[in-house]
Structure 1
Amino acid sequence: MEQKHHIQTYKLVRTLLITALLLTGTGCQKYLTIDPIDRLTGNNFYLSKADVESNLAFIYSRFFQKIQESWVMGAIGEARSGEIFPSPQSGDARTRPIDPDERQVVQVLGRNNLLDAIYNPRFLDYKFENITRWDGYYQVIQSVNILLSKLEEGIPGVSGADKDRYVAEAKFIRSFTYFWMVRLYGDVVYYTEPYFSSSLPREDMVSVLNKCIADLEPEKDKIVWTLTDPAQRGARPARGAIVALLMHMNAWNASFDRANSQSYHNKVAALGKELIDSKAHRLYEMTEESWAQVAKGRTEESLFEFYRSVNYGDVTLFPETWDNFDVRNHYQFWSHFLRWPYLFPRHDKSISPCYFISDYMNKIYPEGDADRRRDLWIEDITADNGQFVLKKFATNVYTSGNEQGYPDNSIIIFRYSDAILLYAESLAELDRTTEAITALNMVRRRAHATPYSGDGGGPLKNFIFSERCRELIGEAHRYFDLIRTRRIMNSEWTRTPMNIDQYNRRAWTWPLHESARIYNPQIVLNEYWTTIGR
């Protein structure tokens, strides 16, 4: 009876939300109800500024819907580097060993056995196959392309600064979506025309990101650093979000277009300085109360995030086949690293399903080194069992006793400290050692960690990389940092290094689902995953 009620509730939510928008970063104000999806492309829709707001809200909601389709934040950015293990005592059937020889899902991901993770019947409820499908991202891009064309034609009540802001915001979403796809699939199909229907082949990812950079750069100065409504901070992009995205795209290309790497690093450095000099963002104090604010979202430390309140029914659409799928427990990366008293009820939440292994944790947070993050964000740091807790995401839990509940945190995509460390990284690559150390120590001072005072060159670059591991643990950056810095090929930095052939054949991508070829026969699937067999 309970399961039947659960199914009926999900289907009712799906029916209601197909024509309504969810809350994003506007406080208690709900976005306006919008017309059905098939009317969003018609001239009858774009009649006012309110229509533009509604369409943008739909676009954000559509992207967030896509990343709710699986345990995406853990699978793409954290687990594949091999430091996450399942707790043997866990009551979770997906992570608990059935026999000593059976590999659990996080270990399968950590060995880069993606086909096993995707197609093994035991792991199907993680919905990893949805990560291989890129159509949801192209729905976002198509919606943005149509919106931009309508803004260019002219929409009543939208002109001047308002039009500039909407164009900048739309181009940010489009470029961000392409960047996200590049990191998942490598080469992608790039287009910016509305109602585009021609078949195009996949384009080299460096070229795609360079086009995104060229498209977005002119918009940076047309949008304010700080939005007038503080409830929109982070949830809607301001100039800091555009700067952060430009920094990340340039940093990615610096690795894969090595002949021009210095030019890319110079751009990252210039953008980082602009962001810091703006004083529009700040690092919050490393206290439990302040970090709870950062994790919840809409702070001055946030550059871009998906603001949500999962404990109050704030979920987006999902396929009807998800009737038995607890979306709160899966799209949130951190739910796999919490136990009682950070999750309830105690009788079935006494063990964290997964943990970061102790040799990795001791490497990035050496015992005896001053670092408040070690104590504030982690509990039982060296417990290679179910007692490990990543407290970094344990704040904002509003349940107790026998209630079911998960942390009420946002999905933070770009944070100020991430941008500072990316800035420091590029400065180090440019041999601007003093500036790099100054930027690095901005983050370490906030963490009450000993300032770096070592040598430049290799030692400094390695330390900055480790600082990103410390500062951004659990935020889905680590695996991508390994890829773009090429440390993925070095056993010093990952338990599952790739060889150069695997790296060049892009074993770091995800398989691309064959459905991508249905309407576009020019699409070639990711060669590495089509040749190694299932």
Structure 2
Amino acid sequence: MMNRITARQIKGYSQLIRSIATVALVLLASACKEFLTVQPVDRLTGNNFYLSKDDVESNVANMYSMFFDKINEGWIIGGIGEARSGEIFVSPGANSSAARRVVEVLGENDLLYAMDSGAPWNWYNYQQVANWTRYYQVIQTANILIDKLEEGIAGIGDIDRQRYIAEATFIRCFTYWWMVRLYGDVVYYTSPYNAESLPREPMVDVLNKCIADLKPHKNNLPWTFADPALKGARASRGSIIALLMHMNMWNAGFDRNNRERYYREVADLGSELIQSNAYRLYPLTEEGWGTVMKGRSDESLFEFYRSINYSDNNAPLSPFGDHFLRWPYKFPRFNNQISHCYFIDTYMAKLFPSAVADKRADFWFEDMLSNSGQFIAVKFAFNVYASGNEDRNPDNTFMIFRYAGAILLHAEALAELSRDNEAIASLNMIRDRAEATPYTGGGGQELKDFIFWERCRELFGEGHRYFDLVRTQRIMNPSFARNPLNSDQYNRRAWTWPIAQSARNNNPKIVLNEYWLSR
């Protein structure tokens, strides 16, 4: 395991030659070592393709790969999940500083300008966020696969059939959840060959349908896999539980009359996850955290695993850490003397007050109060492998759901149910791992706010902060967001992204997001 201590000594190592498609399919069927790089023979055909278990495996692989295409189009996780509340700024003297200023445009919630293809930052591809076509291709693929599995495919017994249906249902529901957070209301369908023009449905209804769709399949996936190559990279029971928790928590924020039901569901799911003992928190050591960030660890509930060893073609821009690393954690040296961006000191001081012990403050950051390119998010600096003039970030995974995040959702739901002692116990599981001062404060709103800030600390840079602000309505409170929305903006859904006009090309029933049409 390469880490930040040995990074300067690394001279690089050779990449494996990408296998041709036929060989990759064979490897996928046996060990799934190159899961996300496999391309199936046919993406959407029916009876002529779904003839064997190998066909199913390659099609499942393609669904993960198609989804990853969307978060590999630019600095997407950072742009949609971190920057819009206004705490990120361009470092003075940063490489391509005029283009990097898009992070500040995002922080002003000026999405139309951020998406302007004529702006200096057009290579960020933010106009692509408005295009939901690829997401619906993933959903359509899942719908067809589920239909064919329900019909029966030669060589697939009942246990495997139920497992594949559960995995495809997870991918479908995960995609809907992701879209709801971006666009609000979306078109929902589960038929395998939908040709009907359908209107967008209220997002709460969509997620309730997803919850009802996914929950019966929870126990049809294993908690974990004997093959370490599959951990995190393939949906597990923990993946389903994490997604169900997130969907319930989103709905609790918007379906206020039923919020206690959602909170109870999250509390029960979180207890089930913790009591399974299938996952664990790694110590905050170079080896422990390096393992988490590399991926396929016992802390990962779901991730898009990427590895230079498999010649994965990550866009240099796409990892969150790209903007907050400099040499010797980011190469090449000549144009990475400073980090491109930084988080403003007032925000970082709020996350990590100097009077409160917390190992994450020193272990995950360097010069975190500098307001300059000296700021480094060392949290993302592990597993450095490049050298010389290669334009490379550390070889880390794209983490989506982590055990620590699920524990904090569990704590949040318990606090909302006034089960304060239980909430504090879950909260302190995370603070204990961080060698941080345990929470000993009161219950009620004080505890709820502390749990919110703990999620900001623990999940820094993992794409959850902005969505947590939105679903809890803290996005309207300047105590929590530097550039808050007002109540009118919030109610008109200024927190969404625009939807591309192309969504109406074949579906006249689509109504675009009104807030962005009136800008």
TM-score bracket for the superposition, by shorter chain length: over 0.9
1:87–1:95 Cα contact (<8 Å) kept = no
1:70 Cα shift? 2.2
Residue number in structure 2 paired with 1:4: none
- Inter-partner Cα distance in structure 2 for 1:465 and 1:87: 28
Alignment partner of 2:365 out of 372, 375, 378: 378
- Inter-partner Cα distance in structure 2 for 1:429 and 1:129: 37
Residue number in structure 2 paired with 1:155: 153
- Inter-partner Cα distance in structure 1 for 2:434 and 2:324: 22
Q: 1:23 to 1:264 in 2, by over 3 A?
A: farther
Unaligned runs of 5+ in 2: 1-16
- Inter-partner Cα distance in structure 2 for 1:260 and 1:404: 49
Residue number in structure 2 paired with 1:34: 40
- Inter-partner Cα distance in structure 2 for 1:31 and 1:115: 33
Residue number in structure 1 paired with 2:462: 475
- Inter-partner Cα distance in structure 1 for 2:395 and 2:25: 20
Q: In the alignment, is residue 58 of structure 1 matched against residue 45 of structure 2?
A: no
Map 1:114-263 onto structure 2 (within 5 A). 114-119=111-116, 120-263=118-261
| Matched AA of 2:32 | T
Residue number in structure 1 paired with 2:286: 288
Structure 1 window deviating more from structure 2 (214-223 vs 175-184): it is 214-223
1:420–1:439 Cα contact (<8 Å) kept = yes
Alignment partner of 2:91 out of 82, 87, 93: 87
Q: In the alignment, is residue 405 of structure 1 matched against residue 409 of structure 2?
A: no
1:26 Cα shift? 2.9
Q: SS where residue 451 of structure 1 aligns?
A: coil
Residue number in structure 2 paired with 1:339: 326
- Inter-partner Cα distance in structure 2 for 1:30 and 1:21: 11
Residue number in structure 2 paired with 1:464: 451
Q: 1:132 to 1:310 in 2, by over 3 A?
A: farther
- Inter-partner Cα distance in structure 1 for 2:306 and 2:389: 24
Q: In the alignment, is residue 351 of structure 1 matched against residue 341 of structure 2?
A: no
Identity percentage over the alignment?
60
1:335 Cα shift? 0.4
- Inter-partner Cα distance in structure 2 for 1:18 and 1:127: 32
1:158 Cα shift? 1.0
Unaligned runs of 5+ in 1: 1-12, 97-103, 316-326
Q: 1:231 to 1:86 in 2, by over 3 A?
A: same
| Matched AA of 2:430 | V
1:328 Cα shift? 2.6
Residue number in structure 2 paired with 1:435: 422
| Matched AA of 2:114 | A
1:19 Cα shift? 12
1:23 Cα shift? 9.1
2:91–2:97 Cα contact (<8 Å) kept = no
- Inter-partner Cα distance in structure 2 for 1:247 and 1:94: 40
1:281 Cα shift? 0.3
| Matched AA of 1:147 | L
Q: SS where residue 414 of structure 1 aligns?
A: strand
Q: For each residue in 1:215-248, what CA deviation from the matched residue of structure 2 results, as whole angstroms up to 9, or x when unmatched?
A: 0010011221112212100000110000000000
Residue number in structure 1 paired with 2:410: 423
- Inter-partner Cα distance in structure 2 for 1:312 and 1:271: 35
Map 1:441-460 onto structure 2 (within 5 A). 441-460=428-447
Alignment partner of 1:48 out of 27, 30, 52: 52
1:403 Cα shift? 3.5
- Inter-partner Cα distance in structure 1 for 2:173 and 2:328: 40
| TM value normalised by structure 1 | 0.90
| Matched AA of 1:505 | R
Map 1:512-527 onto structure 2 (within 5 A). 512-527=499-514
| Matched AA of 1:105 | V
Alignment partner of 2:376 out of 384, 389, 409: 389
Q: SS where residue 331 of structure 1 aligns?
A: coil
2:364–2:377 Cα contact (<8 Å) kept = yes
1:311–1:408 Cα contact (<8 Å) kept = no
Structure 1 window deviating more from structure 2 (354-363 vs 112-121): it is 112-121
- Inter-partner Cα distance in structure 2 for 1:105 and 1:172: 33
Q: 1:527 to 1:181 in 2, by over 3 A?
A: same
Q: SS where residue 56 of structure 2 aligns?
A: helix
Q: SS where residue 448 of structure 2 aligns?
A: helix
Alignment partner of 1:110 out of 94, 100, 107: 107
2:24–2:34 Cα contact (<8 Å) kept = no
| Matched AA of 1:76 | I
Q: For each residue in 1:28-75, what CA deviation from the matched residue of structure 2 results, as whole angstroms up to 9, or x when unmatched?
A: 6897652143xx323111111111111100111111112212211111
2:97–2:340 Cα contact (<8 Å) kept = no
Structure 1 window deviating more from structure 2 (338-347 vs 474-483): it is 338-347
Q: 1:32 to 1:140 in 2, by over 3 A?
A: closer
Q: 1:384 to 1:187 in 2, by over 3 A?
A: same
Q: For each residue in 1:248-291, what CA deviation from the matched residue of structure 2 results, as whole angstroms up to 9, or x when unmatched?
A: 00000001000000000000000000000000000000111110
Q: 1:335 to 1:30 in 2, by over 3 A?
A: closer
Aligned length: 499
1:344 Cα shift? 2.1
1:184 Cα shift? 0.3
1:22–1:30 Cα contact (<8 Å) kept = no
Q: 1:79 to 1:234 in 2, by over 3 A?
A: same
Residue number in structure 2 paired with 1:8: none
Q: SS where residue 413 of structure 1 aligns?
A: strand
Q: 1:409 to 1:31 in 2, by over 3 A?
A: closer
1:392 Cα shift? 0.5
1:27 Cα shift? 3.1
| Matched AA of 2:33 | G
Q: In the alignment, is residue 305 of structure 1 matched against residue 303 of structure 2?
A: yes
- Inter-partner Cα distance in structure 2 for 1:430 and 1:465: 15
Q: For each residue in 1:93-112, what CA deviation from the matched residue of structure 2 results, as whole angstroms up to 9, or x when unmatched?
A: 4446xxxxxxx211100010
- Inter-partner Cα distance in structure 2 for 1:440 and 1:132: 36
Q: 1:461 to 1:32 in 2, by over 3 A?
A: closer
| Matched AA of 2:287 | E
